[in-house]
Amino acid sequence: MNTERIKYFPISAFSIILGLTGLAIVFQKIEELLGLSYIIDTMIITIAIVLFAIISLIYLLKLIKYPHEAVDDFENPVKLSFFPTISISILLLSIAFLSIDMMTSKVLWIIGTTIHAFFTYKVISIWMMQPKFEIKHINPAWFIPVVGNLFVPVAGVQHYNPEISWFFYSIGIIFWIVLFTIFMHRIIFHHPLPEKLLPTLAILISPAAIGFTSYVKLTHQVDSFARILYYFALFLTTFILTQYKMLSKIKFYLSWWAYSFPISAMAIATMLMYHMLGIMIFKYIAYVLIVLLIMVVLILIPKTISAVVKGEICIEED
């Protein structure tokens, strides 16, 4: 990569890791369901780890060579929200390693949780103290820093006292309600999202889907609250799908990767719903979501590679 282009390397590139790791976890669940050996998921995890290392190295070079641009990213109301995708990537790898190596999963969980706690406190401090952000700046990516805490219990309940996981879960679930309310006010009474951020609408699915999965891991049951979370996530998923015509006309941006992880989160939640209740309809819904996820990733990979080759990724933004 041209060193000059590193100057504009986007922090949102880490969203690719979320999509790939989510896909790997989905394949783990499929292989468990069908009694297959862990082959495909291991390959995807390996690719995700390699890409995580490459993206981390490139952004580290940006931080060293162009510190001013990296600081500008952290002060940008949109880009700021993507920094916690670093810690969420590590937390997802921790979840993926639960079926591979428990000690590796534990180490990754400790690292990911620690980094995400830092980002949570830091981002909330910035939100509260800065004078520049306006209602028009909020978009679904704002959910990432605080709602990302919902990822902690998925692996956390197997590594440490569940009270730690409850702490992070409480942060995520309360801030989800707060931010969702603010976002609905913004989207109804103010200007629509710019085209580049429209794919982030899919992120709306993740808090409810991950919130459901974490809640079941914490309580070991599907109660009324769990059902509310799952069915709201299902509503949001079907709603986003009804916007297909509008979303399919958008020019390719790296933000397209926002489609991938929410679908995998919903697929995982649906497979858990089937596992807990044994109702066949959930199994069929999970299969549909898995096929959709594979199709989305198969579209995203060549488009991303093409954009990189054509030099459309690391460019100065307006």
For the segment 200-257, what is each residue's pLDDT rounded down to a tens digit?
888 999 999 999 999 999 999 999 999 999 999 999 999 999 988 887 778 777 778 8
**Of 214, 238, 236, which is closest to residue 225 (Cα–Cα)?**
214
Counting Cα atoms < 13 Å in the Cβ hemisphere of 292 gives: 20
Query: What average pLDDT does the structure give for the chain?
Result: 88
pLDDT, position 135: 84
Checking phi first, is residue 316 left (phi over 0); if not, alpha (psi -120 to 50) or beta? beta
pLDDT, position 313: 72
Does residue 126 surpass a pLDDT of 70? yes
- DSSP code at position 149: G
Does residue 1 surpass a pLDDT of 70? no
Cα–Cα distances (Å) from 261 to 16, 34, 124, 185, 258, in that order, read 9, 22, 24, 25, 6
Cα–Cα distances (Å) from 22 to 39, 41, 120, 222, 259, in that order, read 15, 10, 22, 22, 11
Euclidean distance between CA atoms 89 and 48, whole angstroms: 9
Set out the domains of the chain in order of their start, with CATH numbers.
3-309 (1.50.10.150)
Contacts of 278 (CB under 8 A, 6+ apart): none
> pTM here?
0.89
Euclidean distance between CA atoms 291 and 129, whole angstroms: 44
Quick one: average pLDDT of 107-125?
95
Entry field: residues in the chain: 318
| 48 band by pLDDT with thresholds 50, 70 and 90 | very high
| Type of residue at 155 | A
